[in-house]
Amino acid sequence: MKLSQVVFSPTGTSARIAAAVAAGAGMSSRVIDVTRDEDCNLVFDPDDLVIIAAPVYGGHMSPKAAERMSGMVGNGAKCVLVAVYGNRAFENALVDMSDFAEAHGFVPVAVGAFIGEHSYSTAVHPIAAGRPDAADIAFAERFGKDIACRLESGALRRVDVTTISDQPSSPESLAMFKSFVAEYQQRKKSAGGVLLPQIDMELCGNCGICVDVCPTHAISADCRNIDPARCIKCCACVKSCPDSARSFASPFAPVLYAAFSARKDPTVCISDS
């Protein structure tokens, strides 16, 4: 059996979790990083095991991840689905990923929702800052080990992804967030415009790292401009800038920080025979 990791990971969090799961499984693996590739046409064998990892966007599988992975053909290969979210909720993301995987010929046998530092996290409003941390990585490794054990015993079967649900937040937190979203949507209708990461050219060293890490090639070669039609607000440019010249003042950051600072733990489910 061959193990592969297929990851879409603009800021590296999904890739770190996938690598930890693979390490726990104790099998050598190949890594297919589709974060910055335009085309991904991979054909797997029925006896393959594939870890598919992607970030959660608004409670759903990242559309860009689905686009980049759309060329895959599973041929009945078993897959492990890993959704990484910013400590609020993964909501429908694992259902999306399961539907996507099955539509492309994979058999989901294990699923997991892990926490990674939110794209909008800042020093002022830290949201799951520093995650995945050592505890998260250890959890992912145990998850991989459990998968390998069940694989060896022949116990892996198709998993019912609807049996896994979000760790609940407090009613007060949910009410705060719901109220903010309603207000924000109303303001957006009136104000219009598109929020984008900003750059301070006085700080910018013109190293080009932001251009290189952008998964959608949205940043101009001189680092000055961002194409709003391409930008997915992953903030890879912000988090990778060595000069701290990039920033993104999302209006969601303060409310996410206020409502969802309580630590959530990874949630996983593995099929039984």
Number of domains in the chain: 2
Do 160 and 192 have their domain in common? no
Check which CATH number belongs to the domain holding 204 and give it.
3.30.70.20
Do 154 and 38 have their domain in common? yes
Domain encompassing residue 131: 3-168+264-270
Do 209 and 161 have their domain in common? no
Q: Predicted confidence band at 40 (pLDDT cuts at 50, 70, 90)? A: confident
Per-residue pLDDT for 39 more than 70?
no
Q: Predicted confidence band at 50 (pLDDT cuts at 50, 70, 90)? A: very high
Do 102 and 204 have their domain in common? no
The residue assigned the tokens 């995650």 is: 131
Do 32 and 161 have their domain in common? yes
Do 243 and 116 have their domain in common? no
**pTM higher than 0.85, yes or no?**
yes
Give the model's pLDDT for residue 205: 93
Average pLDDT, integer, range 48-55: 98
Render pLDDT for 139-160 as a digit per residue (tens, 0 to 9).
999 999 999 999 998 888 999 9
Render pLDDT for 71-93 as a digit per residue (tens, 0 to 9).
999 999 999 999 999 999 999 99
Do 179 and 164 have their domain in common? no
Per-residue pLDDT for 220 more than 80?
yes
Give the model's pLDDT for residue 149: 94
Per-residue pLDDT for 98 more than 70?
yes
Render pLDDT for 181-200 as a digit per residue (tens, 0 to 9).
999 988 888 777 788 999 99
Q: Predicted confidence band at 38 (pLDDT cuts at 50, 70, 90)? A: low
Give the model's pLDDT for residue 155: 84
Do 97 and 13 have their domain in common? yes
Do 234 and 220 have their domain in common? yes
Do 155 and 29 have their domain in common? yes
Do 85 and 152 have their domain in common? yes
Do 7 and 122 have their domain in common? yes
